[in-house]
Structure 1
Amino acid sequence: MAKYLIAYGTTAFVFLVIDLIWLSKVAKQFYQDQLGDILLESPRVPAAIAFYVVYIAGIVFFAVAPALRSDSIVIALLHGALFGFFAYATYDLTNYATLKNWPLVVSVADIAWGTFLTGISAAAGFGSRGCLRKRAKTRWIRCGSELLQASTRLHGGAQIISCIRKIGKGFLCHDSPGQ
């Protein structure tokens, strides 16, 4: 049970940090330009929290848990990406089919984003499996803290790759026993 709680926490942390960067720095103007008047001034926080709690549980159930059972990061990445694709496609294509002014470009960008973000987050959740050891826990916390600090300094999308590299270094801590 502990490994699933750690996987949930890791998946949530990675998903939230990267999505926050995407929504507040990288794509904020894109969504404002494309969706204009239908966007709220600020999100409905309880609904956003509910989405994140439920969606991340879905990532762990459908992508991370099967990857843990098969001990394969490829399964985590593939199942995560597919889960993201189907979930985001359901939302975006339904909006495109039913709303008058929903731009196709938003659907395409959002589906691609959901596929990428969910795959990366699932891989990070899988990577946390080695973080049950004391030394690994310390490294996981240190990396999480460094990632959070780095994310507050981001000013554009080009630095997301650096952020993902930090995630890999911290959450794939089981790969190098000498760490």
Structure 2
Amino acid sequence: MAQIVLFLSTAVVFLALDAVMLTRVMHPLFARHLGAQLLTEIRMVPAVVFYLGYVLGILVLVSWPALRDGLPLRALWRGAVLGAMAYGTYELTSYTIMRDWQPSMVAVDLIWGSVLTGISAWAGVQITRALIG
């Protein structure tokens, strides 16, 4: 039961925060630099695959060990490290091989991935602790 609550709470926090950031900051930033290269409608299947897989990865690598050991702050900092690695891989690779990729895109998304993953992991642990005990 705890794993289900942990997954759902982490996913809700992650999706809610990311939806705000994507619409208010990331889309305008990427549109400014990539323009017509962006799709007008997102591709839902890869988005769902990413979000499900990424949240599962947060749980396996970060949140479940922190919950099990009773160390929610561990989820925060280890989540931030995981986010930096994951988002950094994408952004730095894109910057390495794509002509129109900009350093501002790399910095904003890498920082966001770190913050988002850390906060989501920590919040999921805290919510699960509050609901399960």
Give the TM interval when normalised to the shorter protein: over 0.9
Contact 2:84 / 2:111 at 8 angstroms: preserved in 1? Answer: yes
Equivalences, count: 132
Q: TM-score, length-normalised on structure 1?
A: 0.71
Cα shift at 1:15: 0.3
Give the structure 1 partner of residue 71 of structure 2: 72
* Seq. identity, %: 36
In the TM superposition, 1:26-175 aligns within 5 A as 26-127=25-126, 128-132=128-132
Contact 2:75 / 2:125 at 8 angstroms: preserved in 1? Answer: yes
Contact 2:33 / 2:100 at 8 angstroms: preserved in 1? Answer: no
1:3-62 deviations in whole A, cap 9, x for unaligned?
111100000000000100111123332221122122111111101000000000011111
CA distance in 2 between counterparts of 1:37 and 1:98 reads 18
CA distance in 2 between counterparts of 1:40 and 1:93 reads 21
113-122 vs 31-40, greater mean Cα deviation: 31-40
For 2:54, give the aligned amino acid: Y
Give the structure 1 partner of residue 2 of structure 2: 3
CA distance in 2 between counterparts of 1:116 and 1:31 reads 19
Contact 2:95 / 2:102 at 8 angstroms: preserved in 1? Answer: yes
Give the structure 1 partner of residue 13 of structure 2: 14
Q: Which runs of 5+ in 2 are unaligned?
A: none
For 2:43, give the aligned amino acid: R
CA distance in 1 between counterparts of 2:129 and 2:117 reads 18
For 1:110, give the aligned amino acid: D
1:62-101 deviations in whole A, cap 9, x for unaligned?
1101101221111110111001000000111010111121
Q: Which runs of 5+ in 1 are unaligned?
A: 133-173, 175-179
RMSD: 1.2
For 1:126, give the aligned amino acid: V
RCO comparison, higher one (Cα < 8 Å, 6+): 2
74-83 vs 61-70, greater mean Cα deviation: 61-70
> Which of structures 1 and 2 has the bigger CA Rg?
1
